[in-house]
Structure 1
């Protein structure tokens, strides 16, 4: 990994350690001199190309007995269709939401996995703008689904719990409004952003620490770099797992919100 071999940028105070920032990860910023184009945007476009090419190739020659590429594509599609859309939304409604859930899962997965790939080393959603944008799209989607299924009364169904004595509604309705229409989209986005940013910064700091410790003259201090390498490896594997889990969690929550909007009158 680049983090293990590159020194931290910027001056140090008396040989002290200067921890890296997220801006030091991934594709060199010096590569991007075009106005308005950032590393994040390049990686997002690349993720779309990767996903499109893979699934187009997987579906190009559909056979009754699939080859390895077709099998991988079908397994990926089946996971989202059956384990998320069908299990959560269920009934006859789930099938029309499979495309959006499928797209969300693999778009987030590829953009997260960048952080575990040498040279790229930058999960796109470590920038909060991308997480906000996806959460906003999901927010608009489930509200639109609720209104389409239940009419404008969905706004009432979403905030007025059934079977609750009316005096308690003065307390519960404001809580439901804040929870469903303010807190929900905020946590949906920040959960993805915070885990990607925090995990990757920890790995970056651990990697740069190895370089710093090896440069020290004291032999005992140099020896502690072995412990940091072990910690770096453990954190790297943990971060890779979290990258996959966060793609799953974001998509799963989207399915839950859609299901709640579809069946608001029965909750």
Structure 2
């Protein structure tokens, strides 16, 4: 009889998927190349798959664009217009919104594409549940934020405008300047990455626990078997909730990037 039929419970193991190679073993594609530097585990393969799907989505939708969109082009343009109107232009205005739309749209669609595998059977995990890709997106947003401020004010004036609050007593600057620097240039990118990663890591663990508990209770074949009905309903309900989180986290991430760019463009307006 298999372990599942015996009704044995197995807690989720983070070691192999979330900390690959930490033990020095690289049991994955290209794991023996350059000490695992180019190894492709399940997370990386899902990232590659979703990147290809995202590229195909836009390539097919915009392969022959018409002035009056129809069919699949209409779907693609609907999503692009959502990002343009409800994120970029709402926060930055029409001129700056169009200027920074490529970065904001790329961020939004990259996040949502990497979130979707969390609820796809067979994939069952978002690549954003591991910190690497959220860091890459946060760095992109951070560079865009810095670029926007430096381009408008110059490096020195942008830094001063970002950390120095005018009309404060001189002694307070000793306290306020480090706090403003930490808040603006350190906490912003760190919280962007951690928020995205933590939401999908927590969601993944909750789903694993709920489905594992369903399996455990179901095969008890006694009074506890009825509990499996509760846990499977909870698992399905949480999966539906994850569908909302998939979109919401992409929206929040792109929105915050736009907000940080806006703050950089008006750094002298404390």
Give the counterpart of 2:166 among 162, 175, 182.
162
The alignment of Structure 1 onto Structure 2 pairs a total of residues equal to: 252
The residue aligned with 1:17 is 9
Give the counterpart of 1:175 among 172, 179, 190.
179
Q: 1:136·1:185 contact (CA, 8 Å) conserved in 2?
A: yes
Q: 1:199·1:239 contact (CA, 8 Å) conserved in 2?
A: yes
Residue 33, structure 1, aligned to residue 29, structure 2: yes
The residue aligned with 1:187 is 191
Give the counterpart of 2:126 among 123, 127, 132.
123
- For residues 230-241 of structure 1, the aligned pairs below 5 Å read 230-241=233-244
Between the aligned partners of 1:83 and 1:23, the Cα distance in structure 2 is 40
Q: Which moved more, 1:86-95 or 1:242-251?
A: 86-95
Structure 1 unmatched ranges of 5 or more = 1-5
Q: 1:139·1:185 contact (CA, 8 Å) conserved in 2?
A: yes
Between the aligned partners of 1:258 and 1:162, the Cα distance in structure 2 is 21
Between the aligned partners of 1:173 and 1:7, the Cα distance in structure 2 is 59
Secondary structure of 2:221's aligned partner: coil
User: How high is the TM-score relative to the length of structure 1?
Assistant: 0.87
- For residues 81-100 of structure 1, the aligned pairs below 5 Å read 81-100=84-103
Q: 1:7·1:212 contact (CA, 8 Å) conserved in 2?
A: no
Residue 224, structure 1, aligned to residue 220, structure 2: no
Q: 1:131·1:190 contact (CA, 8 Å) conserved in 2?
A: yes
Task: Show CA shifts across 1:140-182 (max 9, x none).
Answer: 2211221111102101111112333333222211111111112
Residue 82 of structure 1, CA deviation:
0.8
Secondary structure of 1:177's aligned partner: helix
When the two chains are superposed, the root-mean-square deviation of aligned CA atoms in Å is 2.2
Between the aligned partners of 1:208 and 1:242, the Cα distance in structure 2 is 22
Judged with a 3 Å threshold, the aligned counterparts in structure 2 of structure 1 residues 236 and 64 are, in CA distance, closer, same or farther, namely same
Residue 16 of structure 1, CA deviation:
5.2
Residue 88 of structure 1, CA deviation:
0.5
Task: Show CA shifts across 1:42-80 (max 9, x none).
Answer: 222222211111112111232344322111011011011
Between the aligned partners of 1:7 and 1:104, the Cα distance in structure 2 is 42
Q: 1:77·1:102 contact (CA, 8 Å) conserved in 2?
A: yes
Runs of 4+ in 1 over 6 A off after TM superposition: none
Secondary structure of 1:60's aligned partner: coil
Q: Which moved more, 1:31-40 or 1:202-211?
A: 31-40
Give the counterpart of 2:148 among 127, 145, 150.
145
Judged with a 3 Å threshold, the aligned counterparts in structure 2 of structure 1 residues 32 and 7 are, in CA distance, closer, same or farther, namely farther
Between the aligned partners of 1:132 and 1:254, the Cα distance in structure 2 is 13
Structure 2 unmatched ranges of 5 or more = 18-25, 32-38
